[in-house]
Amino acid sequence: MPARERYPHLPKTVEYAHIGWDFFILAAVIINLSLLLLDSLFLIGPINDTIASLTPGFHAFYDTVIHSRFITIDLFFVGIFIADVLLGWTVAIAERRYHRWFFYPFVNWYDVLGCIPLSGFRLLRVLRVVSLLNRLHRLRLIDVTSWDSYRFFAKYYDILLEELSDRIALRLLGNVQEQIVASDSLTERVIDRVILPRKAQLIHEIAQRLETTVGQAYQQNRIAIMAAIDDLVNRTLRESPEIQKLHRLPMGHTASNAMQASLSGVAQRLVDELAQGIHSTEFRQLVERTAETGFNSWLTVDETSAHVTEQVLYDILEMLKEQVRHQGWKDRYE
């Protein structure tokens, strides 16, 4: 059976039918609880005598019509409540309201327990009001979020839930820190179980990022790089003794300038070719081989590196604990 959303969109007529049935069950619960209370009081001698003296007609009617048949009447209400559970279960299956067909009695546990013929369990059926209010809210017939009582309980429910989850998280993080301190081979296990199985992927990612970074850096700074190359060639030629001797010859300056322009052009084209070669397969393989060599060296574990790794993990968890300790509900409600 394919699962639908938790609250499937139903026609309004069906929703109103649900609401009408909920009101009927709530009325039956109120009547049943009232009869249970009244019959319990009727069994108390002084109260029974008081009712008989004040309203003898009602006392006689209740004693002969209701009290003498109370078990039968109570079983009638029990039958209504059992029928409500079975009908609700059938409707939930037909509407595919839950992920599995057998979820209904667990989700609506208060209705199931309310079928037990004990007043304490019958009282649980009053919780049906919660589902009724939820349905009315979904139909936008009421807006419970605007109620002061809802905001009050929602606020403290949120605070309670956050405090509980924070305590659990702190306990778990503390246990992890204790395991890190107590473990003698954490770094080795991290390398063997986490890093080495993904070694090829990590090396490929390093090479790809290096290729992308270098390529982008070159494109963004190409003009400055070419100017630096031209300046370097000019300075080298000016400081060269051979070029200085060439300047003393006729047409020496012209030849020197031509040589300078030629060398600058060659150097700039060489750098361009190198930059374009970054995206070649050969360059990527070279980077991956270099990265693999450095990767293997990085994975070599000694006592110092193991201690540093464990301390880093410990401090990260401590930072997370500090974040968890921050009571966020104070920022929301104060």
pLDDT (tens digit per residue) in 165-221: 999 999 999 998 888 888 777 777 878 888 888 888 888 888 888 778 877 887 888
Separation of alpha carbons 99 and 60, rounded Å: 53
Q: Token pair 């929602």 is at which residue?
A: 154
Separation of alpha carbons 186 and 313, rounded Å: 10
Separation of alpha carbons 145 and 200, rounded Å: 54
Using the 8-state DSSP alphabet, how is residue 146 labeled? G
List the chain domain ranges.
Answer: 12-146, 189-301
Q: Does the pLDDT value for residue 2 go beyond 60?
A: no
Separation of alpha carbons 128 and 27, rounded Å: 11
Separation of alpha carbons 254 and 213, rounded Å: 41
Separation of alpha carbons 240 and 236, rounded Å: 6
* Pair 96, 2: CB distance under 8 Å: yes
Give the mean pLDDT of 264-282. 76
Please state the pTM of the whole predicted model: 0.52
What does each C-alpha distance from 40 to 36, 60, 151, 176, 182 come to in angstroms? Answer: 6, 16, 37, 57, 64
**What is the average pLDDT score of the chain?**
82
* Pair 233, 260: CB distance under 8 Å: yes
